[in-house]
A and B are shown apart, each in its own frame.
Chain A
């Protein structure tokens, strides 16, 4: 009985415990460094709840006066996202084809494909939009091209992975029958990646719908233009109307996307 009381239960060995404490201490150190050296005016921080409260009190009630223009801009946003997604889907097909190890013609094309994917994905839509607004001027075109450039990397990467995972046997069977390269792609590869293709396109459309709501803030069309206008004129009641409209759009988009996805897969 005495012995039983002596036994102490513990989750970690002493070594694990030391590791955990060192980890925690390091994390605390990094956080205090960040907190101590960041360029924040603390008086503003203490005032922030007041300011936020003030802002929200200005936002209610939402003012629907400009609803027609908002609805129009919303429709433009949806179209912008949809067209950009459609174009990106088409353009990502050859990229995915050369970025997949089992279909790429040679090592040079493989690296070209990978380079396109990485550079497209690592630059954010807004940064693409800044560039294309400078090139094409403010407007929908800059937005469409920005979203397209960003989406190609995402779509191409996921499609490329799907191509790499296909069952090689149909490919071999067709090759054994003497089918041309084009027919191998058409009958052995495309049917296998079709479900991924649709699922990924729908997912990207949903993401693009969100992204296209902010393009206007850098001048690239859509609802963001109106939002920026309302913010610049301190029309906070209109801002809240727009924000509600954006929530509605995003949630609707998500519902549509999940419905379509469950239909297809």
Chain B
């Protein structure tokens, strides 16, 4: 430190130079080796541009000729979303109570947590494919799938809310000699109801989106219509469906956002 440096240098993000360059090198080696070893058919990829041209050429202009099919698909998606949201909200209440540390005894708590983790681990498409195999093609498989999906999300957040409740009312009820159920109804439910309704509206929006996806593996709704259109190389209809899906998602996002803002 003889003279003050006349140049300011930006502080590196990772102070230790060995670690820093080591990490950079490791990342580079990883990227290069994986890109090199991925089973990629370069020839087929090169043809992709041509094929993309053909697909987009076939997709424009989007065809709304079979809009009856489109509307039917959407109504089915909407029904799937509504029923699965209701089912998911109802089912998530007991599971959330099981998974709340301040309410449930330890073994039940672990059971509740495990249920939530299990419901959250699988992508809805995997759940859908299994339900389709078990209960057959159609909206019923979709409803079951999205119930699982809703439980994973709603029960998790509801359990967190239950863990945060004010213990005062609960203690007051207990002191007055109330048994377990009245305590739940008068001391716990009023504190979590608002959160549950907010989550319900969010989940309805989220289920509507997901119902488009689970339909692709046969679980009913607009996704099935889309998958069929794709399967028949009906790209102009597929584009029309995709455009409507995007439009509906944007509208439902706006609606659910407004409602949540008003009740919050």
Which A residues lie at the B interface, using CB under 8 A?
A: 11, 30-31, 34-35, 37-41, 44-45, 47-48, 51-52, 54-55, 76, 79-80, 82-83, 86, 118-119, 122-124, 126-127, 130-131, 134-137, 139-141, 187, 191, 194, 210-211, 213-214, 217-218, 221, 224, 227-228, 231, 239, 243, 246-247, 250-251
Contact = CB atoms under 8 A, between A and B. Distances in A.
Interface of B is mostly: helix
10 contacts: A31-B82, A40-B138, A48-B140, A124-B209, A127-B213, A136-B48, A136-B51, A137-B41, A213-B123, A221-B39
Interface in B109-165: 117-118, 121-123, 125-126, 129-130, 133-136, 138-140, 143-144
A79 B41 contact: no
Interface string B63-104: 000000000000110111011001000000000000000000
B34 interface: yes
Chain A to chain B: the 4 pairs with minimum beta-carbon distance, closest first: A34-B79, A214-B125, A79-B34, A34-B82
Given A31-B83, A217-B129, A246-B121, A44 B140 contact: yes
B76 A39 contact: yes
Contact of A37 (B79, B117, B136, B230): B79
Interface residues of B, number: 57
Interface in B174-217: 190, 209, 212-213, 216-217
A139 B48 CA distance: 12
B125 A135 contact: no
B118 to A, nearest CB: 7
Interface of B: 10, 13, 30-31, 34-35, 38-41, 44-45, 48, 51-52, 55, 75-76, 78-80, 82-83, 86, 117-118, 121-123, 125-126, 129-130, 133-136, 138-140, 143-144, 190, 209, 212-213, 216-217, 220, 226-227, 230, 242, 245-246, 249-250
Contacts of A139: 39-41, 44
Contact of A213 (B82, B126, B136): B126
Given A39-B139, A55-B130, A34 B212 contact: no
Given A44-B135, A51-B134, A52-B134, A211 B123 contact: yes
Given A35-B83, A123-B242, A137-B41, A41 B138 contact: yes
